[in-house]
Chains A and B, each alone.
Chain A
Amino acid sequence: AQSVTQLDSHVSVSEGTPVLLRCNYSSSYSPSLFWYVQHPNKGLQLLLKYTSAATLVKGINGFEAEFKKSETSFHLTKPSAHMSDAAEYFCVVSDRGSGGGADGLTFGKGTHLIIQP
């Protein structure tokens, strides 16, 4: 079984300051982990992914995430927030060892990122 916990439902930061969105996961196998972003009234866009290669993953728009197996965490960071980063962010785990055709994608409930001018 797999699960994802996004530790904050809302995060508010000032423009130009660092962003930290926290995600913990649970998986019975070696997971693949993803962050997706959803801007208002839009679809979901893949920000970055971890698939058992480098533990520090770089994504689009300056975002990064670090896979820490000992802490079962995959936190998303960005050094300097921009107004265009305001959106909903989803942490997602894929338990590829579970079998079946769905890949067992499980979504967190989302973190709403607010950027203050």
Chain B
Amino acid sequence: DAGITQSPRHKVTETGTPVTLRCHQTENHRYMYWYRQDPGHGLRLIHYSYGVKDTDKGEVSDGYSVSRSKTEDFLLTLESATSSQTSVYFCAIRDRDLGEQYFGPGTRLTVT
């Protein structure tokens, strides 16, 4: 258990509404990540953070923003949700070991 929690675990929302997903870690890791998982695509990186207030874009960042105001929390925001953002979202932290990442339990988001 890498001490990662995600909230909410499930959410249904309507197109056009803002949504914020939270990732919380208890082990003071510097690097945190948000991925989305879709059938046939594996996991794809949305955004990542390498410290408080330090974030950068990943492969599929359009339509998403992130914030990290303290080490333990990494927030993912969909400014105006679309049906294409229906997915399972995973948060991860990077252990200080070589590139190894540990994942949270996931958030299943449905945009209707």
Contact = CB atoms under 8 A, between A and B. Distances in A.
Interface in A54-83: none
Most chain B beta carbons < 10 A, residue from A51, A102, A108: A102
B49 to A, nearest CB: 8
A34 B100 contact: yes
Interface in B66-107: 90, 94, 97-106
Interface residues of B, number: 26
B98 A32 contact: yes
A102 B44 contact: no
Interface string A84-117: 0000001000101000111101011110000000
Q: Number of contact residues on A: which range applies?
A: 20 to 34
Contacts of B45: 102, 105
B42 A94 contact: no
Contact of A105 (B49, B101, B106): B101
B99 A44 contact: no
Most chain A beta carbons < 10 A, residue from B48, B101, B102: B101
Contacts of A100: 56
Nearest to B91: A43
A42 B48 contact: no
B99 A51 contact: yes
Nearest to A95: B99
A3 to B, nearest CB: 11
Q: Which 3 A-B pairs have the closest CB atoms?
A: A101-B50, A94-B99, A107-B42
Interface of A: 32, 34, 36, 42-46, 49, 51, 90, 94, 96, 100-103, 105, 107-110
Given A46-B100, A107-B42, A109-B41, 11 more contacts: A32-B99, A36-B103, A42-B105, A51-B97, A90-B42, A96-B99, A101-B49, A101-B50, A102-B45, A103-B31, A107-B44
